[in-house]
């Protein structure tokens, strides 16, 4: 069994120095040292501790003059790791997350060593009380967050990506900036025949949050959803997906201002170029449906 080489990538905007410090300390306590650690300051200089803190593995820090968004910042980290050429799996962690258990990286290594077609591993995200928000469970409905298995999507806060998979599928959709970038990557991975595994034993502690806390949430969520289906779904499924999603949005959204922003983003998604169109095959549609989430929901 060949043991994959693990890297850790963290992107921060510099507004959570205490949380980043705690996260890096939790990485330092892992019983498997990562081969490399890359920390990206997304439109900000990195806190000084990130440069001097003792960490296992080779540490690279990158300061970006411009905030490229979450997927853009992660692409910068992936590009740097690709230059080194000695990493097989990249573990990406939110800057306000925390690895509670010391064996997370070792378990990730073992999962990838056991299955060469494993593309993405999704961690379980839970707050300091051990509660997992339903939106962080990659299944439809009121699903048990402790039930693992193969799924159709993954959680952006804590996950692992195979570099071999990324070489085939491509990196994050940087133009999304924020929202739905995980689904775009997951659908490309599934269409290329890679597996996505939800492994609840891999815990990332993360404070309970709402995505609507971001001022741009409603607009970019709508824009990116339209871009997503224009890029990745067969033509006949695009109106079905957007129709179901519009109905759910109207039922769930209580803010009139939010609905106005959502509508503006929807129009933007229709009018502006969506990027490369590479629709998934119908056998991928069937595969996602068999896993419990047809790509119209």
Q: Rounded to 5 degrees, what angle do the CA atoms 279, 116, 194 make?
A: 15
pLDDT at residue 69 in the model: 95
> What is the architecture of the domain spanning 6-209?
Alpha-Beta Complex (3.90)
pLDDT at residue 9 in the model: 98
Residue 73 neighbours by CB distance under 10 Å: 26
pLDDT at residue 50 in the model: 54
For residue 52, name the pLDDT band (cuts at 50, 70, 90): low
Q: How many residues does the chain have?
A: 297
DSSP string, 213-237: GSTTHHHHHHHHHHHHHHHHS-GGG
pLDDT at residue 49 in the model: 55
Residue 45 neighbours by CB distance under 10 Å: 13
Q: For the chain, what percent of residues have pLDDT higher than 90? A: 81
DSSP string, 172-193: --GGG-SSSHHHHHHHHHHHTT
Domain boundaries, the chain: 6-209, 212-279
pLDDT in tens, 68-105: 999 999 999 999 999 999 999 999 999 999 999 999 99
pLDDT at residue 264 in the model: 95
Residue 63 neighbours by CB distance under 10 Å: 13
pLDDT in tens, 198-217: 999 999 999 987 665 555 88
pLDDT at residue 188 in the model: 98
For residue 255, name the pLDDT band (cuts at 50, 70, 90): confident
| 14-26 average pLDDT score | 91
Helical (H) or strand (E) element with 202: strand 195-205
First to last CA, the chain: 38
pLDDT in tens, 137-154: 999 888 899 999 999 999
| 255-277 average pLDDT score | 94
Q: Token pair of 70, please?
A: 């979450």
Instruction: Provide CB contacts within 8 A for 203, sequence distance 6+.
Output: 99, 100, 101, 104, 123, 124, 125, 126
Considering only 14-23, 93-102, 120-129, which range has the smallest mean pLDDT?
A: 14-23
User: Which phi and psi angles does 171 have, rounded to 5°?
Assistant: -85, -160
């Amino acid at each position: 069994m060949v043991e994959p080489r693990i890297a850790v990538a963290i992107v921060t905007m510099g507004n959570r120095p205490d949380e980043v410090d705690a996260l890096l300390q939790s990485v330092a306590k892992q019983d498997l040292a990562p081969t490399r650690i890359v920390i990206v300051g997304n439109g900000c200089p990195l806190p000084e501790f990130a440069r001097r803190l003792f960490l296992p593995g080779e540490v690279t820090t990158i300061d970006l003059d411009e905030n490229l968004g979450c997927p853009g910042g992660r692409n910068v980290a992936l590009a740097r790791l690709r230059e080194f050429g000695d990493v097989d799996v990249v573990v990406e962690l939110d800057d306000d997350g925390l690895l509670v258990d010391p064996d997370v990286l070792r378990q990730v290594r073992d999962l990838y060593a056991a299955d060469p077609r494993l593309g993405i591993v999704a961690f379980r995200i839970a707050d300091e009380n051990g509660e997992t928000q339903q939106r962080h469970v990659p299944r439809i409905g009121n699903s048990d967050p402790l039930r693992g298995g193969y799924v159709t999507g993954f959680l952006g806060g804590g996950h692992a990506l195979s570099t071999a998979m990324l070489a085939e599928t491509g990196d994050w959709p940087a133009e999304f900036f924020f929202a739905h970038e995980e689904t775009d990557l997951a659908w490309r991975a599934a269409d290329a025949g890679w597996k996505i595994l939800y492994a609840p034993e891999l815990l990332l502690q993360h404070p309970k949050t709402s995505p609507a806390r971001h001022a741009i949430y409603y607009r970019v969520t709508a824009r990116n959803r339209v871009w997503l289906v224009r890029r990745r779904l067969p033509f006949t499924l695009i109106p079905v997906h957007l129709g179901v999603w519009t109905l759910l949005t109207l039922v769930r959204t209580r803010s009139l201002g939010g609905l106005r922003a959502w509508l503006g983003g929807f129009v933007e998604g229709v009018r502006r170029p969506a990027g490369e169109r590479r629709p998934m095959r119908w056998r991928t549609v069937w595969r996602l449906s068999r896993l419990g989430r047809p790509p119209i929901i």
